[in-house]
Structure 1
Amino acid sequence: MNARRPATGPILIPRHRRAILDFARNHQHWQDGDWTPVLFTNESRFTVSTNDRRVRVWRRQGERYANCNIVEVNHFGGGSVMVWAGIFLNGRTDLIVIDRGSLTGVRYRDEVLRPVVGPIARAIGQNFILMQDNARPHIARVVMNFLDNEGIETLDWPARSPDLNPIEHAWDMLGRRNWENEGAINRDEYRKLYPTTESPPKFYGLPKVHKKDIPLRPIVSSVGSITYNSAKFIADILSPLVGNTTHHIANSQDFSERIKNERVEDDEELRSYDVTALFTSVPIEKALDIIRDDLISDTTLDERTKLSAGQVVKLLEVCLRCTYFVYNGVFYLQIHGAAMGSPVSPIVCNLYLEHLEQLAISTAPHPPLWWFRYVDDTHTKLKKRYAQEFTDHLNSLDPDIKFTTEGEDNRTLAFLDTLTVIKPDGSLNIKIYRKPTHTDQYLNFSSNHPLQHKLGVIHTLFHRAETVISDPVDCDEEKLHITEALSKCGYPKWAFDRLNKPKDTSKPPKDSTNTNKGQVVIPYVKGISDALKRIYSSYGIRVCFKPTRTLRQLLVAPKDKTDKKDVTGPVYLIPCQGQTTRGPCSESYIGETGRSLKTRFLEHRRPSSTSSEVSQHIHIESPGHHVDLEKVQILDREPRYFERGVKEAIHIRANQPSLNKDGGATT
């Protein structure tokens, strides 16, 4: 036997044991439906200046005090941060940082209950239950009065029973597994993944003008939400797993190349299948199991990330379970399927459908002769007598996934932007398909866009005709149609001639390896941007333009508008609102933050001698002066950390604010 450190646990007296037993007996018959509206909450403090004392080192005798074998420990507490969070059976809240100082009843009410718990309780309704421990801030009179006024029911939590609250296990996992310290992610990745935003996903709808009664297509914009960057990070890791089957279609050109030489006999038919509400139908647990198996068998995973397959799946689950959104000021929770609007959801749905289609085809008594799929749309050839049999088989595999089907229309079938035409002899002809509501309205030539974008419209449409259409006669007809449509949009003849001008092959190609020194993307302002491009090009820097202030941005605003105080990632200017003997105070400060403007502003306004030049000015240097959140100007917005620092430095250089002691984060 070897000596081991003993396990630790809370001290339990008989009263504690009886309370825990009573709690277990009272809730032993609760089902998932009973626990679904329960929000488990707690706060925890994480030490950032010392280790968890679980580190072990391998050393030789006499090397005990070698530098490489010494773990630094701060015996005087060191730096720490307190955070609060809540989790549901099917989701979680944002992580709330309790900045500076202890958590009091007033701060718990104002920083946690009112902005976070209250909206969730109203969204769920009268069945909502809050589970919190009996810490002093949680049972303070101001807190109990708030809960009574809001009609929020609480779930009694026996003392000294942390194992009864699932969020305690989450805190333990976070405390023990620091991926950055393990080397699984680097510092830049940590900054990208660490959530600092408080912006919720926003729900809106776009009209499907090509369908009867013009229904809305539901869309959730998760840009800037707490899991957005993590979802993009995971999407980059998972994307190489997609499309590794013979049934996957990359684009219309790929589809045309595959079937243009095929035939459809008299006893065969073409049919398309479409998944009903794919994103909200995919079973998350099954999808995670499939992705975990794919990652374990992926021999190239370590080339894309240092995270293990289990860590990737764990972070993926967090992204997929974060399904709350706001619409018209009210919070909602998507209770089934992958989170709409998450960058990783399309990949998850694709991987799940790849698994399902392989199962369907391998187990079907009479499988289709071909099955090509792009996301949730398929193009299939079957024997006519087995079409209904396969449709029934397809819908019997998973109770969550249901397929609708459409057959040929006068020996034609639309798929993506192509139209498959069956000739009398059974051979196939591929044409371009346009929906009945298509208007032939393209980017107008007189619009304020770069010339390259307008010429790109011509090139794209002609390239599609040449690569998708199988018959040369149909290709010529399509090009004539494109020319007539674009001419109505103001495109001159010289623009088409420029596209058809043969390239000069006598000149040797330029060696881009020595001249290309990078790429910049700048807003397009006619005249100015073109001059900047010439300057950049002289230094071997490639320039791309992006349009700004489009008509769509000015006229279409389907999402809930974000209040100024809730804007995340701003570069801001805070002017002093005080008065001097010579008139209004002219002092000002420019800063940046990845969090909400209100959160950072309150830190500036809080009395402190070190945290903020604004605080020093209004509390120490000029007592009686003050700042007002309504007077704060948002100079720019940028979600990326480094780029936001660059913009801050530019605005500091341009405005010369008197309270800034340096030139910004990048100087």
Structure 2
Amino acid sequence: IQVRPIVASINAPARQISSFLDQLLTPIYNYVTKDITFINSIDLIRKLKDYTEKDYLTSITLFVTFDVADLYTIIPRDGDIAALGRFCQKYSANGKIGNLKIDTIIKLASVVLDTNTFAYKNKYYRQIKGGAMSSPFTMILANTYILEWEQKLIQHQNRHHEIYGRYIDDVFMTTNLTKEELLQQLNETMKTDPNIKITITINQALEHLDASIENNNGQLETTIYHKSAWEPHILPYESDHSRHIHANIIYTMLVRAACLCSTVEDFDMERLSAEMILLVNGYPPKFIQKHMKNFFIQHDAMNVWTELDGETYEQLHTTLLYKPIRRENKSKVQTNGHLIQNRRNYKHKDQIYLHYTFENGPLLNFKKEYRRMWEKFYVYPS
């Protein structure tokens, strides 16, 4: 049986320091790596579509994925700290990040790592590889280490106009090398650091994140990938939420399908699947039809729903695919030298959402009846 340590850091002595370092360094890392980081599957499909439109996708193009095993717990403490120091030195201004000297940041990072301790059977233990799984600082620490390791791969991909992108510990690449040439390159990369172990998949059709991707004789085909363990559970219609929340679930399901499905036929299959999921979770057919219709009317694409029109669907697919997602709008990173500033954009400032269901029906008095029964049968007097 293989096991790995998972050390929690909630309420740990250095928790606040960990959060502070995360808030200080993560915006810089995100800005530096924005071109080699996948936010989600939609971001991946965008890059693949751009890659295809530039005629880099050929009939021999291979897709490559690999994941780094146990990313947070494999890296020795000294290697972590050294990589962090080089990262800070490279992206500092006058030897500082914000108002802190690099030496101060390294000392704070050492405090966080040195307090990753726990007790078991009257003995104290300290984690000496990686960081605590729940520590905010652990991700940026692992990311700066992996960033150094992957530099040669990134540079090779850039020289050959190929894609390289990482989502936490999952990497996706394109290549027009042979499978043997690529494996040789990846093996050479692995030799540079014995701590890093990767599992590689190479094919013209594979799954990455929640997207299924195929190179069909030089034509890119994509759709949604449903994992075998996935179950069709969403927010039930009977839940005590405002109806606009349930309506937004339908809208989000259709947007996701339109972004990830390259053909109108695959999109329609996902739409039908969404209908079944909604019905299973108690959504009334009239409610489903109303809000699906609103989606197609809003995007001027009714004939996609009624006629499976491929040309209109391509316009819908492209429009939604390149529309900025919420995460991109929420945190727009600006840099002035090395000063990083986060700005939040708030929509619908003139509206107030009351999170309560005001419709008629059995849920109207549910809270009152639930509390009455609780106090009558389960609560001791006084």
Which TM-score applies when normalising by structure 1?
0.40
1:394 aligns with 2:189: yes
Q: Where does structure 1 differ by over 6 angstroms across 4 or more consecutive aligned residues? A: 215-218, 300-304, 327-330, 517-520, 524-527
Change (3 A) 1:500 1:304: farther
Change (3 A) 1:317 1:500: farther
Q: Could you give the per-residue CA deviations for residues 427-476 of structure 1, whole angstroms, max 9, x where no partner exists?
A: 21121111111121222211334444433332332221222323233222
Matched residue type, 1:234: L
Residue in structure 2 matched with residue 349 of structure 1 by the alignment: 142
Match of 1:486 among 266, 272, 278: 278
Unpaired runs of 5+ in structure 2?
Answer: 300-344, 359-382
- Residues 583-594 of structure 1: pairs in structure 2 closer than 5 A: none
Structure 1 residue 258 displacement after superposition: 0.4
Match of 1:247 among 2, 15, 36: 36
Q: Could you give the per-residue CA deviations for residues 376-422 of structure 1, whole angstroms, max 9, x where no partner exists?
A: 111122312312202211210111111121233xx421111111112
Structure 1 residue 228 displacement after superposition: 1.7
Change (3 A) 1:493 1:369: same
> Is the partner of 2:282 in helix, strand or coil?
coil
Match of 1:458 among 250, 275, 279: 250
- Residues 239-278 of structure 1: pairs in structure 2 closer than 5 A: 239-243=26-30, 244-245=32-33, 246-260=35-49, 261-262=51-52, 264-278=57-71
- Residues 78-477 of structure 1: pairs in structure 2 closer than 5 A: 219-243=6-30, 244-245=32-33, 246-260=35-49, 261-262=51-52, 264-298=57-91, 305-325=98-118, 332-362=125-155, 369-382=162-175, 383-384=177-178, 385-408=180-203, 411-423=204-216, 425-477=217-269
Matched residue type, 1:466: A
Do the aligned partners of 2:5 and 2:73 also contact (CA within 8 Å) in 1? no
Greater CA drift, 220-229 or 319-328? 319-328
Give distance in 2, aligned partners of 1:503 and 1:271: 37
Give distance in 2, aligned partners of 1:291 and 1:338: 13
Do the aligned partners of 1:394 and 1:403 also contact (CA within 8 Å) in 2? no
Change (3 A) 1:388 1:484: same
Unpaired runs of 5+ in structure 1?
Answer: 1-212, 505-511, 528-667
Do the aligned partners of 1:295 and 1:301 also contact (CA within 8 Å) in 2? no
Give distance in 2, aligned partners of 1:443 and 1:328: 42
Structure 1 residue 330 displacement after superposition: 7.2
Matched residue type, 2:149: L
Q: Could you give the per-residue CA deviations for residues 10-40 of structure 1, whole angstroms, max 9, x where no partner exists?
A: xxxxxxxxxxxxxxxxxxxxxxxxxxxxxxx
Structure 1 residue 275 displacement after superposition: 0.8
Matched residue type, 2:80: A
Do the aligned partners of 1:361 and 1:368 also contact (CA within 8 Å) in 2? no
> Is the partner of 2:73 in helix, strand or coil?
coil
Do the aligned partners of 1:429 and 1:470 also contact (CA within 8 Å) in 2? yes
Change (3 A) 1:519 1:376: farther
Structure 1 residue 235 displacement after superposition: 0.6
Do the aligned partners of 2:65 and 2:170 also contact (CA within 8 Å) in 1? yes
Structure 1 residue 298 displacement after superposition: 3.0
> Is the partner of 2:146 in helix, strand or coil?
helix
Task: State the structure with bigger RCO (CA 8 A, min sep 6), 1 or 2.
Answer: 2
Q: Could you give the per-residue CA deviations for residues 563-588 of structure 1, whole angstroms, max 9, x where no partner exists?
A: xxxxxxxxxxxxxxxxxxxxxxxxxx
Matched residue type, 1:438: W
Structure 1 residue 480 displacement after superposition: 1.9
> Is the partner of 1:419 in helix, strand or coil?
strand
Change (3 A) 1:284 1:217: closer
When the two chains are superposed, the root-mean-square deviation of aligned CA atoms in Å is 3.7
> Is the partner of 2:13 in helix, strand or coil?
coil
> Is the partner of 1:480 in helix, strand or coil?
helix
Q: Could you give the per-residue CA deviations for residues 200-252 of structure 1, whole angstroms, max 9, x where no partner exists?
A: xxxxxxxxxxxxx9x88864432222222221111111112224233221221
Give distance in 2, aligned partners of 1:290 and 1:373: 18
Equivalent pairs counted in the alignment come to 300
Structure 1 residue 362 displacement after superposition: 4.4
Structure 1 residue 333 displacement after superposition: 3.0
Give distance in 1, aligned partners of 2:146 and 2:90: 18
Do the aligned partners of 2:6 and 2:132 also contact (CA within 8 Å) in 1? no
Matched residue type, 1:284: R
Q: Could you give the per-residue CA deviations for residues 503-556 of structure 1, whole angstroms, max 9, x where no partner exists?
A: 69xxxxxxx99x959999x9x7767xxxxxxxxxxxxxxxxxxxxxxxxxxxxx
Structure 1 residue 358 displacement after superposition: 0.7
Do the aligned partners of 2:164 and 2:173 also contact (CA within 8 Å) in 1? yes
Matched residue type, 1:460: T
Give distance in 2, aligned partners of 1:350 and 1:250: 14
Change (3 A) 1:462 1:355: same
Change (3 A) 1:450 1:328: farther
> Is the partner of 2:194 in helix, strand or coil?
coil
Give distance in 2, aligned partners of 1:255 and 1:478: 19
Greater CA drift, 463-472 or 414-423? 463-472
